[in-house]
Amino acid sequence: MKVLVIEDEKDLADIIKQGLEENAFTVELCNDGEEGLFMAENYPYDAIVLDIMLPTMDGFTVLDKLRAKKVKVPVLVLTARGGMGDKVRGLDKGADDYVVKPFEFPELIARLKAIIRRNKGEASPLISIDDLTIDINSRTVKRSDKEIKLSSREYKILVYLALNKGRVLSRDQIAEYIYDPDHEHESNIVDVYINFLRNRIDKGHDNKLIQTVRGEGYTIKGNR
Ligand code: CA
């Protein structure tokens, strides 16, 4: 899951990024409102973490402009302690939820996951595709009730496919999703990881869930 964090306090932004990455999110940071708005309008994110007091454009204005443009990405607002007015105003302007600074990290994660699920129309934390189930909260993956251990990158790709089940994702989309700017990546990295995933998810099953769409990319789909 890919999250844009718009927060100008560098230390806090770095902590949020690190914590989210440890929870298998892909994170992009942005430290001012105008740039944040540009990114949110032009790139696909599963959610946005939005601070209110920001240089160049405050969080409320960012939210206003996003919703005015019908960008429906779920937004979690960070508000200052005691800023009750901020919470109400944020929710009023189309924020999906808020956390109050200073916050406990597990709360941020739980709320973020909840707004992403709500937005995807997944009421429960389970995503299922035939006999494959992914529990977003506990990060457990099972096929036919047997638990499957995945590396963090395999898990990310699987969740990305599953949240878009039935839709074809191109290699570029997947590569961008798992891209780690600190490492050079091989051009075939997506194929490599898809192969790993297939070995773990589909090997030994007649019903193959991960499918190659020639010339387009990959998709995951089942019969139910
Ligand atoms: Ca701030």
For 148-168, the pLDDT digits (tens) are: 999 988 998 999 899 888 889
- Centre of ligand 1 to C-alpha 72, Å, is 23
**What residues sit around ligand 1, an ion, with C-beta below 5 angstroms?**
8, 51, 53
Contact present, 125 and 132 (Cβ < 8 Å): no
Ligand 1 centre to CA of 36 (Å) is: 13
Res 218 pLDDT > 70 = yes
Cα 53 to middle of ligand 1, angstroms: 4
Q: Which CATH architecture has domain 126-220?
A: Orthogonal Bundle (1.10)
Residue 138: pLDDT band (50, 70, 90) is confident
User: Residue ranges of the domains in the chain?
Assistant: 2-120, 126-220
* pLDDT interval class at 91 (50, 70, 90): confident
**Structure-block tokens of residue 52:** 């209110």
39/203 Cα distance (integer angstroms): 39
Domain 2-120 in CATH 3.40.50.2300? The answer is: yes
- Binned at pLDDT 50, 70 and 90, residue 118 comes out as confident
How far does the centroid of ligand 1 lie from the alpha carbon of residue 173, in Å?
Answer: 31
Confidence class for position 214, pLDDT limits 50, 70, 90: very high
Predicted confidence (pLDDT) per residue in 165-205, tens digit: 888 999 888 888 777 655 566 678 899 999 999 999 999 99
- pLDDT the model gives residue 219: 96
Identify whether the C-beta of residue 160 lies closer than 8 Å to the C-beta of residue 149. Answer: no
Distance CA(49)–CA(5), nearest Å, equals 5
Cα 170 from Cα 220, distance rounded (Å):
12
* pLDDT higher than 80, residue 66: yes
> Is residue 79 within 8 Å of residue 101, measured between CB atoms?
yes
Whole-structure pTM value: 0.64
Question: What's the confidence (pLDDT) of residue 119?
Answer: 84
> What is the tens place of the pLDDT at every residue in 43-62?
989 999 999 999 999 999 99
d(CA 184, CA 65): 35
pLDDT, residue 20, reads 95
Ligand 1 centroid to residue 117 C-alpha, Å = 27
* pLDDT, position 49: 97
